[in-house]
Structure 1
């Protein structure tokens, strides 16, 4: 397994019905999650979630990919340089 790295996963949820799937995925990867912050942006009818992970790149990519496949969800990652 590759080296663990600190990554921030930024998630925008535009479809409220996708929230359950997003939370289920985050729960599935909970062992790698350092912290999480969610902000409901009611004026734009969306939620913004920042998740800090300490995980191998393949794990972070897998989560981001699964999140991005959910309808109404966008996910991007930012990984700290070594």
Structure 2
């Protein structure tokens, strides 16, 4: 099975969820290419960007597990697939 690149955007509105997020990211660490976290203290949220290169089912599973945590929102975006020439 091939892999895809994706960006998982995460917004955390309750810092108590960060330990669970970090545990999940550690569990899927072999697929993570890069990670950036920005705390927005004045708005009481943190924004995390994860770049991942993994099979589609792994990306969906990780994003789903993170998105099920209380006070956490996620969105996954993918680059366009290459156009197949005929």
TM range (shorter): over 0.9
Alignment match, 1:57? 56
Where do 5+ consecutive residues of structure 2 fail to align?
82-86
User: Structure 1: which 4+ aligned runs deviate by more than 3 Å?
Assistant: none
1:75 aligns with 2:82: no
Matches within 5 A, 1:1-82: 2-82=1-81
| Alpha-carbon shift at residue 3 of structure 1 (Å) | 1.5
Question: Which entry has the higher C-alpha Rg, 1 or 2?
Answer: 2
Alignment RMSD (CA, Å) = 0.7
Which whole-Å CA distance do the structure 1 matches of 2:75 and 2:62 have between them? 10
Which whole-Å CA distance do the structure 1 matches of 2:18 and 2:48 have between them? 11
The structure whose residues are more often strand, as a share, is 1
TM superposition score normalised by structure 1 = 0.95
Which SS does the other structure have where 1:67 is aligned?
Answer: helix
Which whole-Å CA distance do the structure 2 matches of 1:53 and 1:47 have between them? 19
| Alpha-carbon shift at residue 67 of structure 1 (Å) | 0.3
TM superposition score normalised by structure 2 = 0.91
| Alpha-carbon shift at residue 81 of structure 1 (Å) | 1.7
